[in-house]
Amino acid sequence: MTDLVVIFRTHSDVEASVVRGLLEAHGVLLVVSSDVPHSIFPLTVDGLGEVRISVHRDDADEARRIIDSHRTELPNSRLVRLRDEFESLQAAIGYRFRDRGLLEHAMTHTSRANEDASGGVLDNESLEFLGDAVLGFVIADLLFREFPDFDEGEKSKTKAALVSTTTLARQAELLQLGDHLLLGRGEEKTGGRRKQALLADGYEALIAAIYVDGGIEQARAFIAREFAALIADVREHGVAGQDYKSALQEYLQSHDRGLPEYRLAGTLGPDHRKLFQVEVMVGGEALAEASGSSKKEAEQEAARLALDKLREP
C-alpha cells in the first residue's frame, strides 16, 4: 500500500468513473477509495466525501499526463476539471445548476452505471421517470391555456405528438445532448449518442434534474422555451402530428416507385417502457429505421427519415 500514490481527487462519482475508465483504457492499474458511502445522487458539493484514485508510484507521472491530456486548456493556463464539459450544455439549455451532480446524473446512461464495479454510479432511469411526468404536466397546462377552443381529443392528440420519443429526440439533437451523454463502452461503439431512445430518455432526465435543482417554475420556463416553436406551429397549422406515412406514400407514387412496407426489426426495454424498432422498405431496399414507444410512432418516424433521405439533393 505504501507504493500507492493518490493522483486524482473528486467529490463526483461520475467524474471518478470517467477518470477510472480513461486510465484503465490506457492499461493503468488503479485503486478507488472513498471516506463515506455513496449518496443517492452523485453530488459534487464539498463535504459529502472525497473519492480518490490511486496508482502505483511508478505509474503516477504517466497517469497524471493521461488525465491532463483530457482536460481543456484555457488562455490563462488554468485547467478545467472534466465535469466542466457540461458548461456548454448549461449554456445551451439556459439554466445553470446549483448542484452540477444532478446534471451528471441525468446524463448517465444505464450502460455506464453497469460498468461501475463499485455500484456507486446510478443511471438516469429514475430521473427519466420523473421528467416524463413533469413534461406531461407542463405541456398539458400549456395546451389548456394556449388552445381553449381545442376539444379533449385535439388536446390529447397534440400532447401525444409533442411528448413523443420522436419529438423529444429532435429537441435533444437541437441541444446536442448526445455529445454529453455518459455511455458505457458497448453503447458508445454502437452509436448510442445518435439513438433516438437514448436522446429522448436523456432529455426527460434533464427536465427532471432542472425540476429537482430549481423547482417547478424553472422546469416550466425551460419547457416553455424549448417548445415555443412547436406550440407556435400548432397555433398556425392546428393539431400537431403530421402523417409522414401518407406523405411518403404520395412521394413514392409521384416518382413511380413501389409502396412502402414497414417491418418490425425488434424491441428494446422492459414491458412497461418498451420501444419498437421499425424498418421501412421500398422495393426490397431498407430506406430508414426508427424507434418509438409504439409501432405507429416508430413507423411515422421511419417514414419521416425515409422522406428526408429521398429528398436529399
Confidence grade of residue 261 (pLDDT, cut at 50, 70, 90): very high
Domain total for the chain?
Answer: 2
Query: What are the residue numbers of the active site?
Result: 132, 204
The pLDDT value recorded for residue 75 is 42
pLDDT: is 291 or 16 the higher one? 291
Only one residue has cell 416550466, namely 220
Domain with residue 205: its CATH number is: 1.10.1520.10
Please check whether residue 24 lies inside any domain of the structure.
no
| pLDDT tens-digit readout, 278-300 | 999 988 899 999 888 888 888 98
Kindly report the number of other CB atoms within 10 A of residue 47's CB atom: 8
Furthest-apart CA atoms within the chain: distance in Å: 76
The CA distance from 49 to 37, in Å, is: 8
The pLDDT value recorded for residue 35 is 65
Q: What is the pTM of this model?
A: 0.59
The pLDDT value recorded for residue 119 is 63
Domain with residue 292: its CATH number is: 3.30.160.20
| pLDDT tens-digit readout, 21-72 | 778 877 889 888 876 554 433 433 333 467 889 999 989 988 888 877 665 4
Span of 46-55, 96-105, 280-289, 301-310 with lowest mean pLDDT: 46-55
Q: DSSP letter at 8?
A: E
What is the residue range of 221's domain?
125-237
Domain final residue, candidates 237, 263, 278? 237
The pLDDT value recorded for residue 94 is 94
The SS3 assignment for 45 reads: coil
